[in-house]
Chain A
Amino acid sequence: MQAFAFEPCELPPGADALRTEVRAFLDAEAADILVPARARSWVGFDAEFSRKLGDRGWLGMTWPEPWGQDRSALERYVVIEELLAAGAPVAAHWIAERQSGPLILRFGTDEQRAQLLPGIAAGETYFCIGMSEPDSGSDLASIRSKAEPAEVGGEKGWVVNGRKVWTTYAQHSHYMIALLRTGEAGENRHGGTTQFVIDLATPGVTVQPIRNMIGDEEFNEVTFDDVFVPAGMLVGEEGNGWRQVTAELSFERSGPDRFLSAFALLKALVHVAGENPSDMAAAAIGRLHAHLTTLRAMSLSVAAQLDAGAEPALEAAFVKDLGVMFEQSIPEIAHQVIGASPRIDHGDDFEQVLAYVQQACVSFSLRGGTTEIMRGVIARGLGLR
């Protein structure tokens, strides 16, 4: 008997109408975005665009009232896959809406919900994730940044010291959800960590952008030097950080962002290949299309399982691993089929998109869990080790 299941997913009634609405919105609000910028999609930061999505009710739409509209995860799926396929700039609200909001909703207090969720749903409050540290990458359980109980000016809380790295858009975020050490790890190494919401405007927080190899400033180093965090900002249970983070990562690992990050390049490839492609180009496009169709069906199946309250961690790992391999194969195939040598200043759309994706795609198999970690998760799920 197989350890995994991908039951087919039917989109709910109304999904078609919603899709039409989103496309009309994109025609109106995103028509002017140039093709090379579309390749960046979910690293494209545009607060105004996020606010417009909030106005339409498309952020936090699955959350219960009064925070959201109680719509299904599959309706949200339709919205985000349309945004990503169009290459709309969704980075500002992306992490807050995908991960932080659902985490606060599930594990947070009523006060945290009331304070934080309305801003996320409005597209105005942005979050970053504080997991990795300089000495803790894939080995997340080894984190050392710590929170210690303290009382400052009569207020109970925690004092945080340490450093987080690879923190995407910390320089534009209002809050970080940080995984911090609050106790001993214990024998399974998974104990003693706790999640906190940290207001990045608090004294003692320093955000230093780390320029990436493409020349962009997306990720950051965030240093905490005796930063006071009020007691009410602890998320969930003290010491339960590992389990909360694991649940959170299923959302990060199976969405359409896991196979649409290089969609702009596939589209550009189809465009350049033309109406009468060479045999080689036709075969390459056909193969990529078959992969994309299959990945989307798998990703939708995981979305339906998440919607039904299941925890499909193994299935999500498959989507991430296969999705990343697919995305990384696109520049490879583009080189084989078209043979362009991309210029990054004045190249045509195809050249610029290829140049960007070629460089960016090495990060696809690192973020949200490396390929090696994903495959370890899969192997464990298969009953190995």
Chain B
Amino acid sequence: MNEERIMIAETCERLFAAHLDAEVFRTAEAGRFPHGLWDAITENGLDRILVPEAQGGSGLGWEDAHVVLLAAGRHAAPVPLAEAIAAGGLLGQLPDGIVTLGTSGADPEMVRVPWGRDAGHMLVSDADDGLRCVSLDGAAITRDRNIGRDPRDGVVVEGLVTGNMGVDQVHAAGALVRSCQMAGAVSAVLDLCVTYTNERVQFGRPIGRFQAIQQQLAVMAGEAAAAGVAARAACRMVDAGGNIIAAAATAKIRTGEAAGKAANIAHQVHGAIGFTDEYRLHHLTRRLWAWRSEFGAESNWAGLLGRLVAARGADKLWPDLTDG
């Protein structure tokens, strides 16, 4: 990583360490917006990292933003930071207040929206995949939460027709930021597991000395490594002018699979303590399961990517992979 990214990472670590503790999780997951954490984020301009400097942002790229998203994922941050970053990247500016992303759900009348109740604006793709930043003043909100207990509200805006194709650019940007968050959360889960298994003693020795545990953590570490590479590569691809839908597909498929495997192994090696409310592993794992299915599950993205690959034909498989 270059120096600027190392500085961004350190800023994020300090910020989350200072403003995100068990009490913030408790109140946020009970439905109260964590204003202290959010204000610290916006005062540091992390939400506007992709917005050009002329528009009041940092003017940085996706690979830089990915550092912020990894940190947000590592800390399971219960705020709409990823949504704001994606919206800023697509729009090149951000309106005042909280901005979120709309994604088409099963009900074409209703858009599913992270933090819909708290947001002033929502970015959606219209029927022609053009961007529309819609005010949520007067929108009908049906409050709900995902497994992470973060707000995922049903939103009805009168007269709004969205793309509803599942492959629009808002959807893809959402998948890309979720991929980065998952990569960060998986690496944090790995760290928790290594620390815990080196400390927890059974049969007279740390359980991390047992090969049965080591083999499982080695699998998890491989998933963490692959998720990190996949998320970053996708961000680099977008920075290089690549198609955000193709970039997001690979990242969401690979990080989603890593999320599932890592969460399972983490709970297995932690035993009962990992199943308690008190221990913080579940802040990460519940969000991994939630993020895995948001903005397109692996099956959706894999189907999309597989059809693209199949349409090009077997003889183009290798050239496309290497020439891209």
Contacts and interface: CB of A to CB of B under 8 A. Distances in A.
Interface of A: 2, 4, 6-8, 16, 19, 81, 85-86, 263, 266-268, 270-271, 273-277, 279, 281-287, 289-298, 301, 315, 318, 321-322, 372, 374-376, 378-379, 382-385
A287 B314 contact: no
A267 B317 contact: yes
Contact of B209 (A7, A301, A385): A385
B26 interface: no
Interface in B281-316: 298-299, 301-311, 313-314
Given A285-B309, A321-B218, A4 B194 contact: no
Contacts of B194: 382-384
A301 to B, nearest CB: 7
Contacts of A282: 302-304, 306-307, 310
Interface in B215-229: 215, 217-219, 221-222, 224-226, 228-229
A379 B322 contact: no
B253 A297 contact: no
Contacts, number: 161
A284 B299 CA distance: 9
A297 B229 contact: yes
Given A318-B222, A321-B222, 5 more contacts: A285-B310, A287-B298, A290-B249, A297-B230, A375-B214
A131 B207 CA distance: 32
Contacts of B318: 85-86, 263, 267
Given A289-B309, A293-B321, A379-B215, A283 B302 contact: yes
B250 A293 contact: yes
B249 A270 contact: no
A284 B302 contact: yes
B103 interface: no
A378 B229 contact: no
A277 B310 contact: yes
B230 A322 contact: no
Interface string B193-227: 01001100000000011010111011101101110
B254 interface: yes
A290 B305 contact: yes
Nearest to B316: A270
A338 B168 CA distance: 31
Interface residues of B, number: 52
Instruction: Identify the 6 closest CB pairs spanning chains A and B, nearest first.
Output: A286-B306, A286-B302, A282-B306, A286-B305, A375-B218, A379-B214
A352 to B, nearest CB: 15
A271 B317 CA distance: 10
A322 B228 CA distance: 14
Nearest to B215: A375
Nearest to A379: B214
A34 B230 CA distance: 34
- DSSP class of B's interface residues: helix, strand, loop or mixed? helix
Contacts of B249: 286, 290
Nearest to B193: A382
B217 A289 contact: no
Contacts of B214: 375-376, 379, 384-385
A385 B198 CA distance: 8
A6 B229 contact: yes
B233 A290 contact: no
A270 B314 contact: yes
B322 A81 contact: yes
B187, B225, B253, B321: residue with the most chain A Cβ atoms closer than 10 Å: B225
Nearest to A272: B314
A283 B308 CA distance: 11
A257 to B, nearest CB: 15
A383 B198 contact: yes
Max chain A Cβ within 10 angstroms of own Cβ: one of B209, B215, B221, B309: B221
A280 B317 CA distance: 19
A366 to B, nearest CB: 16
B215 A286 contact: no
Nearest to A284: B306
Contacts of A291: 226, 254
Contacts of A295: 226
Given A291-B254, A384-B214, A283 B303 contact: yes
A384 B306 contact: no
Nearest to A326: B226
A293 B229 CA distance: 10
A97 to B, nearest CB: 21
B279 to A, nearest CB: 20
B232 interface: yes
B302 A384 contact: no
Contacts of A281: 306, 310
Interface in B245-271: 249-250, 253-254, 257
B236 to A, nearest CB: 6
A290 B246 CA distance: 10
A286 B211 contact: no
B313 A298 contact: no
A276 B321 contact: no
Most chain A CB inside 10 Å of its own CB: which residue of B1, B218, B303, B311: B218
Contacts of A297: 229-230, 233
